[in-house]
Structure 1
């Protein structure tokens, strides 16, 4: 019996050692989350989700239509489109907030289409048709976004725009980070990029590939995309030798969203005017 016990202990020791060696030599450590995934993780933070009150009821009634296009993962996606009245290779890609492609985003698309004549406006849908009605649902949708799928949608939109396209991008919150990713994916086609209080790209190697400068709209009272995040982005862009303009406002996260109680109309209009002027310059509009 003693020999049998000794044998069992010895076997258990060998298995344990083998498992440890396998873990240390062969197992891959979990990959660090990228910028957009890191921002999505905030959805589990009660302070973050609690700071986003449900959008006020609103129905958009105006120009535009939903279009469908192929994505690079063999699927399809839809976008809200307002096409230029004249033939144009200039495009503004709009990325929605964590609520999804709702009627507020469609209204923003219509506003930019009116203010940027000669530009095709596409409001992309990174939630594949889902729209949140409350913060809990929005958090789940944002966390559920797979990087590969979101990139496939953006790449599909770039292919839809065509080989001669000149691309500008803009987004808020969740969409702010993805606006920067859109500019990176657009490569040489990228002409302008606006990001409202979104998570910046942290990989300097990627930032070096940017073909455009970036306009970053920053809310000083934002607890998440805070001063530290912005200062690091400034350093990273400087290291990458890329131009960055930061517009700061003494407001809170989502101050530019008219459906949010934290909406600050004066600052929102000022930021919009700055964004509009920047987009016109990047797309070389008169």
Structure 2
């Protein structure tokens, strides 16, 4: 009996060397040096689904890296993407607006930088190449992953947390390959009811597999524990909402469980 119990422990216990691995990775899009943050946990084996994390308009900061670590803790290899170059970030709205607009004002820049990150992640030896990559994003990053889905980028799924819904390039019928999940604060003053209606009509017209969830009482930035501090410092209507944060993360997990057969 004792030998049997020892055998069970050996079979079902994680390897002793299992650990969280994290590192900064340099890559390029055009002439711009980008500095992403790659993280995985080898307790989940050597072939893991891949997930991209696109940051808020503040840039690739500790919050985006923490979300990547949380995904690694679920058994995904995650790359927190650098959309601004040189890994830069800020806590000042004026700087964040400038960084963001430098990307948005050039139609191909966001796509080029997203695809460069996607290619880098998919080359990693611990990534399961038989499965498509998924992507999540926050605020600016949420809008970014939605736009990648609209443009037909080959993704398994995208999840947008408090991301802008307005786009200059609406999805065309049959274009959206990814399953789409939008996680929105019902009291977010940046997201109008008209933009929600337009988004849902767009997804229906495109024939997309999508789900839209509104969280009552939640405002912009509801997943970020630093939202209250950043909102106060920048005179912006931002606030953390623990209940909406937890519920939206669970909705994302449910989507990924279905997509990746977990």
1:255 & 1:222 partners in 2: Cα distance?
9
Matched residue pairs, number?
A: 220
- Could you say which residue in structure 2 is the equivalent of 1:136? 94
For the 8 Å contact 1:126–1:150, the answer to whether it is kept is yes
Work out whether residues 56 and 137 of structure 2, in 8 Å CA contact, stay in contact via their aligned partners in 1: yes
Query: Aligned with 2:223: secondary structure?
Result: coil
Under a length normalisation based on structure 2, what TM-score does the superposition of the two structures give?
A: 0.76
Larger of the two Rg values belongs to structure: 1
Indicate whether 1:278 and 2:255 are aligned: yes
Runs of 4+ that moved beyond 6 A? none
1:99 is aligned to 58
CA distance in 2, matches of 1:133, 1:167: 30
Return the match for 2:80 from 120, 123, 138.
123
State the SS of the aligned residue for 1:218: strand
What's 2:244 paired with?
Answer: 267
The higher relative CO (CA closer than 8 Å, separation ≥ 6) is in: 1
Question: SS where residue 190 of structure 1 aligns?
Answer: coil
Q: CA 1:281/1:165 → structure 2, altered by over 3 Å: closer, same or farther?
A: closer
> Which sections of structure 2, spanning at least 5 residues, go unmatched?
1-19, 124-128, 229-238
Q: Secondary structure at the match of 2:58?
A: coil
1:82 correspondence with 2:39: yes
Shift of 1:105: 1.1
Question: In 1, distance between residues paired with 2:107 and 2:169?
Answer: 15
Q: What's the TM-score, normalizing by structure 1?
A: 0.70
- 1:177 aligns to 2:177 (yes or no): no
State the distance in 2 between where 1:210 and 1:80 align: 27
Q: Is the 8 A contact 2:172 2:205 kept in 1?
A: no
Q: Secondary structure at the match of 2:53?
A: strand
Structure number with the higher helix fraction is 1
Task: Calculate the aligned-residue CA RMSD, in Å.
Answer: 2.1
CA distances 1:71-118 after superposition (whole Å, capped 9, x unpaired): 3x2544221001352332621000000111101111111011102x1x
For residues 280 and 254 of structure 1, the distance between their equivalents in structure 2, rounded to whole angstroms, comes to: 25
